[in-house]
Structure 1
Amino acid sequence: MEVHFRAVPPVELFNLPLYEHHLVIDTRSEEKYQLGHIVSAIHYPSWSPSLTDEEKEASLLKFIHIVIEECLRPENPNPVVVYGDGENAREHAHWLAKRLEFLKKDRLSVAKVTADSSGGSQQVNPVEYFCITIADKTREVWYLEGGYDGFQKQYDFLCGQITFMEMMPLPHHITEHVYLASRVVPLEADYLHKLHVTHVIVSQHQLLDWGQLTGISVLKCDVRDTDYQNMAGCWNAAVRFIDSASQETPSARVLIKMLGRSRSASVVLAYLTMMCHMSLEQAWEHVHNICHKIDHSLVYYDQLQQWTNNKQICES
Protein backbone atom coordinates (compact mmCIF):
# COMPACT_ATOMS: atom_id res chain seq x y z
CA MET A 1 0.00 0.00 0.00
CA GLU A 2 2.98 2.31 0.51
CA VAL A 3 3.89 4.93 -2.11
CA HIS A 4 7.65 5.51 -2.10
CA PHE A 5 9.33 8.82 -2.88
CA ARG A 6 12.50 8.82 -4.98
CA ALA A 7 14.65 11.56 -6.52
CA VAL A 8 15.82 10.54 -10.01
CA PRO A 9 18.19 12.02 -12.65
CA PRO A 10 16.88 12.99 -16.12
CA VAL A 11 18.10 9.75 -17.74
CA GLU A 12 15.72 7.66 -15.60
CA LEU A 13 12.72 9.69 -16.75
CA PHE A 14 13.86 9.32 -20.36
CA ASN A 15 14.22 5.56 -19.95
CA LEU A 16 10.71 4.97 -18.54
CA PRO A 17 10.19 5.33 -21.60
CA LEU A 18 8.20 8.54 -21.87
CA TYR A 19 6.43 7.55 -25.09
CA GLU A 20 4.42 4.99 -23.09
CA HIS A 21 2.59 7.93 -21.48
CA HIS A 22 3.12 8.23 -17.73
CA LEU A 23 1.63 10.85 -15.42
CA VAL A 24 4.17 13.69 -15.45
CA ILE A 25 3.35 16.75 -13.34
CA ASP A 26 4.83 20.22 -13.90
CA THR A 27 4.62 22.30 -10.70
CA ARG A 28 6.14 25.49 -12.11
CA SER A 29 4.21 28.70 -12.79
CA GLU A 30 1.59 28.81 -15.55
CA GLU A 31 3.81 31.20 -17.51
CA LYS A 32 6.80 28.83 -17.48
CA TYR A 33 4.61 25.86 -18.32
CA GLN A 34 3.15 27.62 -21.35
CA LEU A 35 6.63 28.60 -22.58
CA GLY A 36 7.66 24.95 -22.64
CA HIS A 37 7.32 21.70 -20.70
CA ILE A 38 8.27 18.03 -20.87
CA VAL A 39 6.10 16.14 -23.33
CA SER A 40 2.76 14.97 -21.86
CA ALA A 41 3.30 16.94 -18.62
CA ILE A 42 0.16 18.26 -16.90
CA HIS A 43 0.23 21.55 -15.03
CA TYR A 44 -0.38 21.31 -11.26
CA PRO A 45 1.35 24.35 -9.71
CA SER A 46 3.10 24.20 -6.37
CA TRP A 47 1.09 25.81 -3.66
CA SER A 48 2.34 28.56 -1.41
CA PRO A 49 3.80 27.36 1.92
CA SER A 50 1.14 29.50 3.61
CA LEU A 51 -1.72 27.38 2.23
CA THR A 52 -3.83 25.53 4.77
CA ASP A 53 -4.25 21.75 4.62
CA GLU A 54 -7.81 22.29 3.40
CA GLU A 55 -6.60 24.50 0.55
CA LYS A 56 -3.97 21.92 -0.44
CA GLU A 57 -6.63 19.21 -0.51
CA ALA A 58 -8.85 21.44 -2.65
CA SER A 59 -6.02 21.97 -5.14
CA LEU A 60 -5.47 18.21 -5.39
CA LEU A 61 -9.17 17.56 -5.97
CA LYS A 62 -9.20 20.20 -8.70
CA PHE A 63 -6.20 18.52 -10.35
CA ILE A 64 -7.87 15.09 -10.13
CA HIS A 65 -11.00 16.44 -11.82
CA ILE A 66 -8.88 17.93 -14.64
CA VAL A 67 -7.01 14.64 -15.21
CA ILE A 68 -10.20 12.57 -15.38
CA GLU A 69 -12.65 14.97 -17.02
CA GLU A 70 -10.20 16.07 -19.73
CA CYS A 71 -9.20 12.45 -20.46
CA LEU A 72 -5.56 12.95 -19.40
CA ARG A 73 -5.33 9.61 -17.59
CA PRO A 74 -1.94 7.99 -18.36
CA GLU A 75 -1.50 4.52 -19.84
CA ASN A 76 1.04 3.74 -17.10
CA PRO A 77 0.14 4.96 -13.60
CA ASN A 78 3.49 4.01 -12.06
CA PRO A 79 5.59 5.95 -11.37
CA VAL A 80 4.06 9.39 -11.07
CA VAL A 81 6.73 11.99 -11.95
CA VAL A 82 6.92 15.50 -10.47
CA TYR A 83 9.25 18.33 -11.46
CA GLY A 84 9.45 22.04 -10.76
CA ASP A 85 11.60 24.79 -9.27
CA GLY A 86 13.68 24.10 -6.16
CA GLU A 87 12.72 22.72 -2.77
CA ASN A 88 9.07 23.70 -3.07
CA ALA A 89 8.67 21.19 -5.89
CA ARG A 90 10.40 18.48 -3.85
CA GLU A 91 8.06 19.16 -0.91
CA HIS A 92 5.10 19.03 -3.30
CA ALA A 93 6.26 15.64 -4.59
CA HIS A 94 6.69 14.32 -1.03
CA TRP A 95 3.22 15.53 -0.10
CA LEU A 96 1.69 14.00 -3.23
CA ALA A 97 3.25 10.61 -2.44
CA LYS A 98 1.63 10.70 1.00
CA ARG A 99 -1.74 11.75 -0.42
CA LEU A 100 -1.69 8.98 -3.04
CA GLU A 101 -0.92 6.52 -0.27
CA PHE A 102 -3.89 7.86 1.68
CA LEU A 103 -6.17 7.60 -1.37
CA LYS A 104 -5.17 3.95 -1.76
CA LYS A 105 -6.29 3.20 1.79
CA ASP A 106 -9.36 5.42 2.08
CA ARG A 107 -10.56 6.04 -1.45
CA LEU A 108 -14.16 5.00 -0.73
CA SER A 109 -14.59 7.54 2.07
CA VAL A 110 -12.84 10.27 0.05
CA ALA A 111 -14.95 9.51 -3.01
CA LYS A 112 -18.14 9.63 -0.90
CA VAL A 113 -17.25 13.04 0.53
CA THR A 114 -16.60 14.48 -2.93
CA ALA A 115 -19.79 12.93 -4.29
CA ASP A 116 -21.79 14.44 -1.43
CA SER A 117 -20.22 17.85 -2.02
CA SER A 118 -21.22 17.72 -5.69
CA GLY A 119 -24.82 16.85 -4.83
CA GLY A 120 -24.43 13.34 -6.25
CA SER A 121 -25.21 14.64 -9.74
CA GLN A 122 -22.24 12.97 -11.48
CA GLN A 123 -22.68 9.51 -12.97
CA VAL A 124 -18.92 8.85 -12.62
CA ASN A 125 -17.16 10.14 -9.53
CA PRO A 126 -13.81 11.55 -10.80
CA VAL A 127 -12.04 10.97 -7.49
CA GLU A 128 -13.11 7.34 -7.24
CA TYR A 129 -12.18 6.79 -10.89
CA PHE A 130 -8.76 8.43 -10.30
CA CYS A 131 -8.19 6.16 -7.30
CA ILE A 132 -9.12 3.00 -9.21
CA THR A 133 -7.14 3.77 -12.37
CA ILE A 134 -4.14 5.68 -10.99
CA ALA A 135 -3.70 5.88 -7.20
CA ASP A 136 -4.32 2.18 -6.57
CA LYS A 137 -1.59 1.28 -9.08
CA THR A 138 1.00 3.89 -8.09
CA ARG A 139 3.94 2.49 -6.14
CA GLU A 140 6.42 5.37 -6.53
CA VAL A 141 6.47 9.13 -6.92
CA TRP A 142 9.60 10.36 -8.66
CA TYR A 143 11.03 13.83 -8.14
CA LEU A 144 13.07 14.91 -11.16
CA GLU A 145 16.49 16.22 -10.13
CA GLY A 146 17.47 19.35 -12.01
CA GLY A 147 13.87 20.06 -12.93
CA TYR A 148 12.81 21.13 -16.40
CA ASP A 149 16.08 22.92 -17.19
CA GLY A 150 18.19 19.87 -16.33
CA PHE A 151 16.03 17.56 -18.44
CA GLN A 152 15.91 19.99 -21.37
CA LYS A 153 19.70 20.26 -21.38
CA GLN A 154 19.98 16.53 -22.16
CA TYR A 155 16.73 15.84 -24.04
CA ASP A 156 15.59 19.05 -25.69
CA PHE A 157 13.69 17.05 -28.32
CA LEU A 158 11.19 16.06 -25.60
CA CYS A 159 10.66 19.60 -24.37
CA GLY A 160 8.83 22.72 -25.52
CA GLN A 161 5.39 22.59 -27.13
CA ILE A 162 5.66 19.02 -28.43
CA THR A 163 2.49 16.98 -27.98
CA PHE A 164 2.21 13.33 -27.07
CA MET A 165 0.77 12.61 -30.53
CA GLU A 166 4.07 13.77 -32.04
CA MET A 167 6.08 11.25 -30.03
CA MET A 168 7.98 8.42 -31.68
CA PRO A 169 9.44 5.29 -30.05
CA LEU A 170 12.61 6.10 -28.12
CA PRO A 171 15.79 4.10 -27.59
CA HIS A 172 17.13 3.41 -24.11
CA HIS A 173 19.97 5.64 -22.90
CA ILE A 174 22.51 3.20 -21.44
CA THR A 175 25.58 5.37 -20.89
CA GLU A 176 26.48 8.95 -21.75
CA HIS A 177 27.41 7.92 -25.30
CA VAL A 178 25.30 4.82 -25.96
CA TYR A 179 21.66 4.35 -27.01
CA LEU A 180 20.12 0.87 -27.27
CA ALA A 181 17.34 0.64 -29.87
CA SER A 182 14.55 -1.90 -30.42
CA ARG A 183 13.09 -2.85 -33.81
CA VAL A 184 10.50 -0.06 -33.67
CA VAL A 185 13.04 2.78 -33.43
CA PRO A 186 13.32 4.29 -36.93
CA LEU A 187 16.69 4.64 -38.66
CA GLU A 188 15.97 7.95 -40.36
CA ALA A 189 18.33 10.90 -40.44
CA ASP A 190 15.78 13.53 -39.32
CA TYR A 191 14.75 11.44 -36.33
CA LEU A 192 18.34 10.55 -35.38
CA HIS A 193 19.45 14.17 -35.63
CA LYS A 194 16.65 15.16 -33.22
CA LEU A 195 18.07 12.65 -30.74
CA HIS A 196 21.56 14.11 -31.38
CA VAL A 197 22.72 10.69 -32.59
CA THR A 198 26.04 11.03 -34.40
CA HIS A 199 26.90 7.35 -35.00
CA VAL A 200 24.95 4.12 -35.53
CA ILE A 201 25.88 0.43 -35.40
CA VAL A 202 23.75 -1.83 -37.61
CA SER A 203 23.82 -5.20 -39.35
CA GLN A 204 24.98 -5.05 -42.94
CA HIS A 205 22.12 -7.46 -43.70
CA GLN A 206 19.36 -5.10 -42.55
CA LEU A 207 17.00 -3.87 -45.26
CA LEU A 208 17.71 -0.15 -45.04
CA ASP A 209 17.72 2.83 -47.32
CA TRP A 210 21.30 3.81 -46.52
CA GLY A 211 20.63 7.24 -47.99
CA GLN A 212 18.40 7.87 -44.96
CA LEU A 213 21.51 8.03 -42.78
CA THR A 214 23.02 11.15 -44.32
CA GLY A 215 25.37 12.88 -41.91
CA ILE A 216 25.56 9.87 -39.58
CA SER A 217 28.70 7.73 -39.17
CA VAL A 218 27.78 4.07 -39.70
CA LEU A 219 29.42 0.80 -38.62
CA LYS A 220 28.00 -2.21 -40.49
CA CYS A 221 28.56 -5.54 -38.73
CA ASP A 222 28.24 -8.99 -40.31
CA VAL A 223 25.43 -10.10 -38.00
CA ARG A 224 22.48 -12.19 -39.21
CA ASP A 225 19.09 -12.90 -37.65
CA THR A 226 20.13 -16.25 -36.19
CA ASP A 227 21.05 -17.58 -32.78
CA TYR A 228 24.09 -19.46 -34.10
CA GLN A 229 26.97 -17.18 -35.06
CA ASN A 230 30.32 -15.99 -33.81
CA MET A 231 29.85 -12.45 -32.47
CA ALA A 232 33.46 -11.76 -31.45
CA GLY A 233 34.36 -9.83 -34.61
CA CYS A 234 31.29 -7.63 -34.25
CA TRP A 235 32.00 -6.91 -30.58
CA ASN A 236 35.63 -6.02 -31.27
CA ALA A 237 34.69 -3.62 -34.06
CA ALA A 238 31.78 -2.09 -32.15
CA VAL A 239 33.77 -1.43 -28.97
CA ARG A 240 36.51 0.30 -31.01
CA PHE A 241 33.87 2.29 -32.92
CA ILE A 242 32.10 3.56 -29.79
CA ASP A 243 35.36 4.36 -28.01
CA SER A 244 36.69 6.23 -31.04
CA ALA A 245 33.44 8.21 -31.39
CA SER A 246 33.48 9.28 -27.74
CA GLN A 247 37.16 10.22 -27.88
CA GLU A 248 36.79 12.29 -31.07
CA THR A 249 33.51 13.94 -30.11
CA PRO A 250 32.74 14.36 -26.37
CA SER A 251 29.04 14.88 -27.19
CA ALA A 252 28.84 11.80 -29.45
CA ARG A 253 25.82 9.52 -29.14
CA VAL A 254 26.01 6.06 -30.68
CA LEU A 255 22.76 4.24 -31.43
CA ILE A 256 22.95 0.44 -31.66
CA LYS A 257 20.24 -1.31 -33.67
CA MET A 258 20.99 -4.74 -35.07
CA LEU A 259 18.02 -6.96 -36.00
CA GLY A 260 16.34 -6.58 -32.65
CA ARG A 261 16.91 -5.54 -29.07
CA SER A 262 18.82 -8.59 -27.74
CA ARG A 263 21.53 -8.72 -30.40
CA SER A 264 22.03 -5.00 -29.96
CA ALA A 265 22.20 -5.56 -26.21
CA SER A 266 25.07 -8.00 -26.65
CA VAL A 267 27.10 -5.17 -28.20
CA VAL A 268 26.24 -2.92 -25.26
CA LEU A 269 27.31 -5.62 -22.81
CA ALA A 270 30.60 -6.04 -24.65
CA TYR A 271 31.23 -2.29 -24.48
CA LEU A 272 30.40 -2.06 -20.77
CA THR A 273 32.73 -4.91 -19.86
CA MET A 274 35.64 -3.58 -21.91
CA MET A 275 35.38 0.20 -21.58
CA CYS A 276 33.40 0.75 -18.38
CA HIS A 277 35.29 -1.92 -16.40
CA MET A 278 32.18 -3.85 -15.37
CA SER A 279 32.00 -7.57 -14.89
CA LEU A 280 29.62 -9.30 -17.28
CA GLU A 281 27.18 -9.82 -14.40
CA GLN A 282 27.30 -6.12 -13.52
CA ALA A 283 26.86 -5.13 -17.16
CA TRP A 284 23.85 -7.43 -17.52
CA GLU A 285 22.23 -6.06 -14.36
CA HIS A 286 22.81 -2.47 -15.51
CA VAL A 287 21.29 -3.01 -18.95
CA HIS A 288 18.42 -5.20 -17.78
CA ASN A 289 17.43 -2.66 -15.10
CA ILE A 290 17.05 -0.09 -17.87
CA CYS A 291 15.41 -2.37 -20.44
CA HIS A 292 13.49 -5.28 -18.87
CA LYS A 293 12.50 -6.76 -22.22
CA ILE A 294 16.00 -7.99 -23.05
CA ASP A 295 16.09 -11.79 -23.23
CA HIS A 296 19.07 -13.28 -21.37
CA SER A 297 19.00 -16.34 -23.65
CA LEU A 298 19.42 -14.19 -26.79
CA VAL A 299 22.43 -12.04 -25.89
CA TYR A 300 25.04 -14.76 -26.53
CA TYR A 301 25.85 -14.77 -22.83
CA ASP A 302 28.16 -17.82 -22.95
CA GLN A 303 30.04 -16.31 -25.90
CA LEU A 304 30.32 -13.02 -24.05
CA GLN A 305 31.72 -14.79 -21.01
CA GLN A 306 34.40 -16.46 -23.13
CA TRP A 307 35.09 -13.23 -25.05
CA THR A 308 35.56 -11.18 -21.88
CA ASN A 309 37.80 -13.87 -20.37
CA ASN A 310 39.97 -13.88 -23.50
CA LYS A 311 40.23 -10.09 -23.43
CA GLN A 312 41.28 -10.12 -19.79
CA ILE A 313 43.97 -12.74 -20.53
CA CYS A 314 45.30 -10.66 -23.45
CA GLU A 315 45.47 -7.53 -21.26
CA SER A 316 47.23 -9.27 -18.32
Structure 2
Amino acid sequence: MSSARRILVVGYPAAEALDIACVVSTLQIANYVRGRHEYRVELAALSGGMIRTATGLTLQADAPLERVKGPLDTLVVSGGIGYMSAMEDQQLVAHVRRLARESRRVASVCTGAGVLAAAGLLDGRRAATHWDHAEFLSTRFPAVRFDPAPIYLVEDSLCTSAGVTAALDLCLSFIESDTGPDVARAVARQLVTYMQRPGNQAQMSVFTATTPRNSVVRQAVEFIETHLGENLTPALVAQRVGVSERHLSRLFTRELTVSAARFIRRRRTSAAAQLLADTDLTQDAVAARVGFRTVETMRQAFQHLYGVSPSHFQATQRSTRHA
Protein backbone atom coordinates (compact mmCIF):
# COMPACT_ATOMS: atom_id res chain seq x y z
CA MET A 1 0.00 0.00 0.00
CA SER A 2 2.86 2.41 0.74
CA SER A 3 3.92 2.40 -2.94
CA ALA A 4 0.39 2.84 -4.29
CA ARG A 5 -0.42 5.97 -6.23
CA ARG A 6 -2.62 8.14 -4.04
CA ILE A 7 -5.72 9.45 -5.84
CA LEU A 8 -8.05 11.95 -4.19
CA VAL A 9 -11.55 12.44 -5.61
CA VAL A 10 -13.31 15.61 -4.46
CA GLY A 11 -17.08 15.46 -4.03
CA TYR A 12 -19.66 17.99 -2.85
CA PRO A 13 -23.45 18.22 -2.49
CA ALA A 14 -25.22 17.32 -5.77
CA ALA A 15 -22.07 16.00 -7.39
CA GLU A 16 -22.82 13.42 -10.09
CA ALA A 17 -22.53 9.87 -8.73
CA LEU A 18 -21.25 8.54 -12.06
CA ASP A 19 -18.50 11.16 -12.15
CA ILE A 20 -17.22 9.71 -8.90
CA ALA A 21 -17.93 6.05 -9.65
CA CYS A 22 -16.24 6.08 -13.07
CA VAL A 23 -12.99 7.25 -11.51
CA VAL A 24 -13.10 4.99 -8.46
CA SER A 25 -14.24 1.84 -10.28
CA THR A 26 -11.82 2.19 -13.20
CA LEU A 27 -8.81 2.62 -10.93
CA GLN A 28 -9.91 -0.14 -8.55
CA ILE A 29 -10.26 -2.52 -11.49
CA ALA A 30 -6.71 -1.59 -12.45
CA ASN A 31 -5.69 -2.86 -8.99
CA TYR A 32 -7.54 -6.11 -9.68
CA VAL A 33 -5.88 -6.52 -13.08
CA ARG A 34 -2.43 -5.75 -11.66
CA GLY A 35 -2.92 -8.06 -8.71
CA ARG A 36 -1.66 -5.36 -6.36
CA HIS A 37 -2.56 -1.89 -5.11
CA GLU A 38 -1.44 0.32 -7.96
CA TYR A 39 -3.89 3.00 -6.86
CA ARG A 40 -5.20 4.04 -3.46
CA VAL A 41 -8.38 6.02 -4.08
CA GLU A 42 -9.98 8.28 -1.46
CA LEU A 43 -13.15 10.34 -1.60
CA ALA A 44 -13.08 13.66 0.25
CA ALA A 45 -15.64 16.39 0.94
CA LEU A 46 -15.76 19.45 3.14
CA SER A 47 -16.24 18.35 6.76
CA GLY A 48 -16.26 14.71 5.62
CA GLY A 49 -19.43 12.77 6.28
CA MET A 50 -22.07 11.96 3.71
CA ILE A 51 -22.33 13.34 0.17
CA ARG A 52 -25.85 13.38 -1.24
CA THR A 53 -25.27 13.14 -4.97
CA ALA A 54 -27.34 14.62 -7.78
CA THR A 55 -29.02 11.26 -8.34
CA GLY A 56 -30.15 11.03 -4.71
CA LEU A 57 -27.62 8.37 -3.76
CA THR A 58 -25.61 9.10 -0.63
CA LEU A 59 -21.87 8.38 -0.51
CA GLN A 60 -19.63 8.30 2.55
CA ALA A 61 -16.54 10.47 2.23
CA ASP A 62 -13.32 8.86 3.41
CA ALA A 63 -11.92 12.10 4.77
CA PRO A 64 -12.70 15.79 5.40
CA LEU A 65 -11.20 17.76 2.53
CA GLU A 66 -9.73 20.34 4.89
CA ARG A 67 -7.67 17.67 6.66
CA VAL A 68 -6.21 16.05 3.56
CA LYS A 69 -2.53 16.71 3.03
CA GLY A 70 -0.26 15.84 0.13
CA PRO A 71 1.63 14.63 -1.60
CA LEU A 72 -0.96 13.23 -4.00
CA ASP A 73 -0.43 11.47 -7.27
CA THR A 74 -3.70 12.73 -8.76
CA LEU A 75 -6.37 15.17 -7.61
CA VAL A 76 -9.73 14.71 -9.36
CA VAL A 77 -12.63 17.16 -8.96
CA SER A 78 -16.05 15.68 -9.77
CA GLY A 79 -18.76 17.41 -11.75
CA GLY A 80 -22.51 17.44 -11.32
CA ILE A 81 -25.37 19.90 -11.04
CA GLY A 82 -23.97 21.11 -7.72
CA TYR A 83 -20.87 22.51 -9.41
CA MET A 84 -22.17 26.09 -9.49
CA SER A 85 -22.48 26.16 -5.72
CA ALA A 86 -19.18 24.30 -5.37
CA MET A 87 -17.22 26.80 -7.46
CA GLU A 88 -18.67 29.64 -5.35
CA ASP A 89 -17.63 27.90 -2.11
CA GLN A 90 -14.43 29.73 -1.23
CA GLN A 91 -13.37 27.12 1.32
CA LEU A 92 -13.72 24.24 -1.12
CA VAL A 93 -11.97 26.17 -3.90
CA ALA A 94 -9.12 27.14 -1.58
CA HIS A 95 -8.49 23.53 -0.60
CA VAL A 96 -8.58 22.41 -4.23
CA ARG A 97 -6.02 25.11 -5.03
CA ARG A 98 -3.86 24.03 -2.06
CA LEU A 99 -3.97 20.34 -2.93
CA ALA A 100 -3.29 21.03 -6.61
CA ARG A 101 0.11 22.38 -5.58
CA GLU A 102 0.78 19.08 -3.82
CA SER A 103 -0.34 16.84 -6.69
CA ARG A 104 1.57 15.38 -9.62
CA ARG A 105 -1.55 15.49 -11.77
CA VAL A 106 -4.76 17.51 -11.47
CA ALA A 107 -7.97 16.55 -13.24
CA SER A 108 -11.65 17.39 -13.49
CA VAL A 109 -14.65 15.42 -14.67
CA CYS A 110 -17.44 17.17 -16.53
CA THR A 111 -18.41 20.48 -14.87
CA GLY A 112 -15.76 19.96 -12.22
CA ALA A 113 -13.71 22.10 -14.58
CA GLY A 114 -15.64 25.04 -13.14
CA VAL A 115 -14.10 24.39 -9.72
CA LEU A 116 -10.61 24.20 -11.24
CA ALA A 117 -11.31 27.45 -13.08
CA ALA A 118 -12.51 29.12 -9.87
CA ALA A 119 -9.23 28.06 -8.27
CA GLY A 120 -7.34 29.82 -11.08
CA LEU A 121 -5.82 26.59 -12.32
CA LEU A 122 -7.10 26.84 -15.90
CA ASP A 123 -6.32 30.48 -16.73
CA GLY A 124 -4.88 30.78 -20.22
CA ARG A 125 -5.59 27.15 -20.97
CA ARG A 126 -7.99 25.15 -23.11
CA ALA A 127 -10.27 22.91 -21.07
CA ALA A 128 -12.84 20.23 -21.82
CA THR A 129 -16.18 20.13 -20.06
CA HIS A 130 -19.74 18.96 -20.64
CA TRP A 131 -20.94 20.37 -23.96
CA ASP A 132 -24.13 21.76 -22.40
CA HIS A 133 -22.23 23.88 -19.85
CA ALA A 134 -19.31 25.14 -21.92
CA GLU A 135 -20.98 28.40 -22.91
CA PHE A 136 -21.92 29.28 -19.33
CA LEU A 137 -18.44 28.48 -18.04
CA SER A 138 -16.83 30.48 -20.86
CA THR A 139 -18.86 33.51 -19.82
CA ARG A 140 -18.10 32.99 -16.14
CA PHE A 141 -14.35 32.44 -16.69
CA PRO A 142 -13.25 34.37 -19.80
CA ALA A 143 -9.56 33.58 -19.14
CA VAL A 144 -10.27 29.89 -19.87
CA ARG A 145 -10.97 28.46 -23.36
CA PHE A 146 -13.71 25.94 -22.61
CA ASP A 147 -14.10 23.49 -25.48
CA PRO A 148 -17.40 21.55 -25.73
CA ALA A 149 -16.08 19.12 -28.33
CA PRO A 150 -13.37 16.75 -27.02
CA ILE A 151 -13.89 13.83 -24.66
CA TYR A 152 -10.85 14.87 -22.66
CA LEU A 153 -7.81 17.13 -22.87
CA VAL A 154 -4.39 16.72 -21.31
CA GLU A 155 -2.14 19.76 -21.07
CA ASP A 156 1.00 19.06 -19.11
CA SER A 157 -0.20 17.89 -15.68
CA LEU A 158 -3.71 19.36 -16.04
CA CYS A 159 -6.43 17.11 -17.39
CA THR A 160 -10.06 17.96 -18.07
CA SER A 161 -12.82 15.74 -19.41
CA ALA A 162 -16.29 15.93 -20.87
CA GLY A 163 -19.50 14.83 -19.21
CA VAL A 164 -20.04 11.89 -16.90
CA THR A 165 -18.72 8.67 -18.48
CA ALA A 166 -15.89 10.55 -20.21
CA ALA A 167 -14.21 10.08 -16.81
CA LEU A 168 -13.78 6.44 -17.79
CA ASP A 169 -11.85 7.43 -20.93
CA LEU A 170 -9.73 9.86 -18.96
CA CYS A 171 -8.89 7.24 -16.33
CA LEU A 172 -7.98 4.68 -19.00
CA SER A 173 -5.53 7.26 -20.36
CA PHE A 174 -4.10 7.64 -16.83
CA ILE A 175 -3.68 3.87 -16.51
CA GLU A 176 -1.98 3.63 -19.89
CA SER A 177 0.39 6.46 -19.00
CA ASP A 178 1.12 5.03 -15.54
CA THR A 179 1.34 1.30 -16.24
CA GLY A 180 1.31 0.77 -20.01
CA PRO A 181 -1.23 -0.08 -22.73
CA ASP A 182 -1.57 -3.76 -21.83
CA VAL A 183 -2.97 -2.97 -18.39
CA ALA A 184 -5.25 -0.26 -19.78
CA ARG A 185 -6.52 -2.71 -22.39
CA ALA A 186 -7.19 -5.35 -19.73
CA VAL A 187 -9.12 -2.82 -17.64
CA ALA A 188 -11.19 -1.84 -20.68
CA ARG A 189 -12.06 -5.51 -21.20
CA GLN A 190 -13.18 -5.82 -17.59
CA LEU A 191 -15.32 -2.72 -18.01
CA VAL A 192 -16.69 -4.02 -21.34
CA THR A 193 -15.91 -0.70 -22.97
CA TYR A 194 -13.88 0.76 -25.80
CA MET A 195 -10.16 0.95 -25.30
CA GLN A 196 -8.63 4.36 -25.80
CA ARG A 197 -11.27 6.46 -27.49
CA PRO A 198 -9.23 9.38 -28.82
CA GLY A 199 -9.39 12.28 -26.38
CA ASN A 200 -10.42 14.68 -29.12
CA GLN A 201 -13.25 12.48 -30.37
CA ALA A 202 -16.38 14.61 -30.56
CA GLN A 203 -18.73 14.44 -27.54
CA MET A 204 -21.78 15.11 -29.66
CA SER A 205 -21.61 12.18 -32.02
CA VAL A 206 -24.77 11.43 -33.93
CA PHE A 207 -25.23 8.35 -31.74
CA THR A 208 -25.88 10.56 -28.70
CA ALA A 209 -27.40 13.64 -30.30
CA THR A 210 -30.92 14.48 -29.20
CA THR A 211 -33.87 13.96 -31.54
CA PRO A 212 -34.54 17.14 -33.55
CA ARG A 213 -37.70 18.97 -32.53
CA ASN A 214 -38.43 20.19 -36.04
CA SER A 215 -40.41 17.65 -38.06
CA VAL A 216 -38.65 18.52 -41.33
CA VAL A 217 -35.24 17.96 -39.77
CA ARG A 218 -36.43 14.69 -38.24
CA GLN A 219 -37.57 13.47 -41.65
CA ALA A 220 -34.31 14.57 -43.21
CA VAL A 221 -32.24 12.78 -40.56
CA GLU A 222 -34.27 9.61 -40.97
CA PHE A 223 -33.75 9.73 -44.72
CA ILE A 224 -30.00 10.28 -44.31
CA GLU A 225 -29.71 7.44 -41.79
CA THR A 226 -31.33 4.97 -44.16
CA HIS A 227 -29.55 6.08 -47.35
CA LEU A 228 -25.93 6.63 -46.27
CA GLY A 229 -24.54 4.40 -48.99
CA GLU A 230 -26.18 6.43 -51.74
CA ASN A 231 -25.01 9.63 -53.40
CA LEU A 232 -26.51 11.88 -50.75
CA THR A 233 -26.38 15.64 -51.21
CA PRO A 234 -28.15 18.42 -49.30
CA ALA A 235 -30.08 19.20 -52.49
CA LEU A 236 -31.33 15.61 -52.74
CA VAL A 237 -32.31 15.52 -49.06
CA ALA A 238 -34.08 18.88 -49.36
CA GLN A 239 -36.05 17.65 -52.34
CA ARG A 240 -36.98 14.50 -50.43
CA VAL A 241 -38.47 16.47 -47.50
CA GLY A 242 -40.05 19.19 -49.65
CA VAL A 243 -38.01 22.30 -48.80
CA SER A 244 -35.30 24.34 -50.50
CA GLU A 245 -31.67 23.43 -49.94
CA ARG A 246 -31.03 26.81 -48.33
CA HIS A 247 -33.95 26.43 -45.93
CA LEU A 248 -32.81 22.90 -45.01
CA SER A 249 -29.35 24.19 -44.18
CA ARG A 250 -30.85 26.90 -41.95
CA LEU A 251 -33.00 24.31 -40.15
CA PHE A 252 -30.06 21.95 -39.58
CA THR A 253 -27.87 24.76 -38.28
CA ARG A 254 -30.60 25.86 -35.88
CA GLU A 255 -31.57 22.37 -34.68
CA LEU A 256 -28.27 20.46 -34.83
CA THR A 257 -25.70 23.31 -34.93
CA VAL A 258 -24.24 21.95 -38.20
CA SER A 259 -25.19 22.33 -41.85
CA ALA A 260 -26.90 19.48 -43.68
CA ALA A 261 -23.73 18.79 -45.65
CA ARG A 262 -21.62 18.57 -42.51
CA PHE A 263 -24.20 16.40 -40.80
CA ILE A 264 -24.09 13.90 -43.68
CA ARG A 265 -20.29 13.82 -43.51
CA ARG A 266 -20.30 13.33 -39.73
CA ARG A 267 -22.94 10.63 -39.93
CA ARG A 268 -20.94 8.75 -42.55
CA THR A 269 -17.81 9.06 -40.43
CA SER A 270 -19.55 7.80 -37.28
CA ALA A 271 -21.12 4.90 -39.18
CA ALA A 272 -17.70 4.02 -40.64
CA ALA A 273 -16.19 4.12 -37.15
CA GLN A 274 -18.77 1.68 -35.86
CA LEU A 275 -18.15 -0.70 -38.76
CA LEU A 276 -14.39 -0.54 -38.30
CA ALA A 277 -14.77 -1.36 -34.61
CA ASP A 278 -17.43 -4.04 -34.90
CA THR A 279 -16.70 -5.88 -38.16
CA ASP A 280 -13.85 -7.37 -40.17
CA LEU A 281 -14.68 -5.33 -43.27
CA THR A 282 -11.79 -3.72 -45.11
CA GLN A 283 -11.51 0.03 -45.24
CA ASP A 284 -12.50 -0.04 -48.91
CA ALA A 285 -15.66 -1.98 -48.07
CA VAL A 286 -16.50 0.31 -45.15
CA ALA A 287 -16.01 3.45 -47.24
CA ALA A 288 -18.29 2.10 -49.95
CA ARG A 289 -20.97 0.98 -47.50
CA VAL A 290 -21.33 4.38 -45.84
CA GLY A 291 -21.10 6.45 -49.01
CA PHE A 292 -17.51 7.72 -49.10
CA ARG A 293 -16.29 7.69 -52.68
CA THR A 294 -12.73 6.77 -51.70
CA VAL A 295 -10.77 5.60 -48.67
CA GLU A 296 -8.84 8.87 -48.83
CA THR A 297 -12.06 10.85 -48.45
CA MET A 298 -12.92 8.70 -45.42
CA ARG A 299 -9.43 9.24 -43.98
CA GLN A 300 -9.81 13.02 -44.25
CA ALA A 301 -13.21 12.85 -42.54
CA PHE A 302 -11.74 10.76 -39.68
CA GLN A 303 -8.87 13.16 -39.18
CA HIS A 304 -11.30 16.08 -39.04
CA LEU A 305 -13.80 14.51 -36.62
CA TYR A 306 -11.65 12.21 -34.47
CA GLY A 307 -8.11 13.48 -34.99
CA VAL A 308 -6.86 10.01 -35.97
CA SER A 309 -6.75 7.92 -39.13
CA PRO A 310 -9.19 5.06 -39.82
CA SER A 311 -6.25 2.65 -39.43
CA HIS A 312 -5.44 3.95 -35.96
CA PHE A 313 -9.08 3.92 -34.93
CA GLN A 314 -9.54 0.35 -36.17
CA ALA A 315 -6.36 -0.86 -34.46
CA THR A 316 -7.25 0.60 -31.06
CA GLN A 317 -10.94 -0.29 -31.10
CA ARG A 318 -10.65 -3.77 -32.51
CA SER A 319 -7.84 -4.60 -30.09
CA THR A 320 -10.53 -4.66 -27.41
CA ARG A 321 -13.60 -5.78 -29.29
CA HIS A 322 -11.91 -8.65 -31.16
CA ALA A 323 -9.28 -9.74 -28.64
TM-score, reference length from structure 1: 0.29
TM-score, reference length from structure 2: 0.28
Larger radius of gyration: 1
| Greater RCO (Cα-Cα under 8 Å, separation 6 or more) | 1
